[in-house]
Amino acid sequence: MRILGIDPGLRTTGFGVLDVEAGTLRYVASGTISTGHLATTALPARLQTLFQGVAEVVQCYQPHCAAVEIVFVNVNPQSTLLLGQARGALIAALVQAQLPVAEYTALQMKQAVVGYGRAAKPQVQEMVRRLLDLPGVPGPDAADALGLAITHAHAGRSLQLLAAAQTAEGKGDVAGRTSSYKRGRSR
């Protein structure tokens, strides 16, 4: 399974692509989509750049699913609103490509990758480097995106094990609930 992780940002959006084979994570690619050169440009043009950038990443790497960070309210409500619009453009591009989209908070990602939900960015970067056996530390946005992909790989495996255990115990079929989760639907 190939997973695309997305760390939304209006100026810089990180992306990371992993393959998961027999429980092993393999790095495929990572990078950023930047609208920094458009900082003085109208918001719709910047959103279009993000939408097209994610569409290009999807076309190039052909992921099976995506994991996107959930945005929380910041101190500055205007910044939160702008980030939410950027996130919406990114999710729209993923949905347009018919990818299942899962969503995780930064706390969930840090817990899954570092083991501590309030880990600092350098800690996430170093653990991503170690988990994926990378030759160097990825940039902060790419590391967060790879961390989201790692989180989804772990969550997907946990859901499969739960479904198998419940089916073995005769508790009914949870495959429908699992597949709904994978499609990114909220419960």
- Nearest Cα neighbor of 36 from 50, 26, 24, 23 is 50
Q: Which residue among the candidates 19, 21, 141, 144 is catalytic per the annotation?
A: 141
Confidence of residue 171 (pLDDT cuts 50, 70, 90): low
Assigned token pair, 97: 């490509």
Q: Which residue among the candidates 7, 126, 144, 173 is catalytic per the annotation?
A: 7
Integer Cα distance of 159 and 167 in angstroms: 12
Strand partners, 13: 33
> Residue 39: its pLDDT value, please?
72
> Residue 187: its pLDDT value, please?
34
Is 69 one of the catalytic residues? yes
Compare 154 and 184 and report the one with higher pLDDT.
154
Is 173 one of the catalytic residues? no
What is the percentage of the chain residues whose pLDDT exceeds 70? 86
Q: Which residue among the candidates 69, 126, 133, 169 is catalytic per the annotation?
A: 69
Integer Cα distance of 93 and 109 in angstroms: 22
- Nearest Cα neighbor of 12 from 136, 143, 108 is 143
Assigned token pair, 3: 């997973």
Integer Cα distance of 4 and 160 in angstroms: 19
Q: Are 5 and 145 in contact (CB under 8 A)?
A: yes
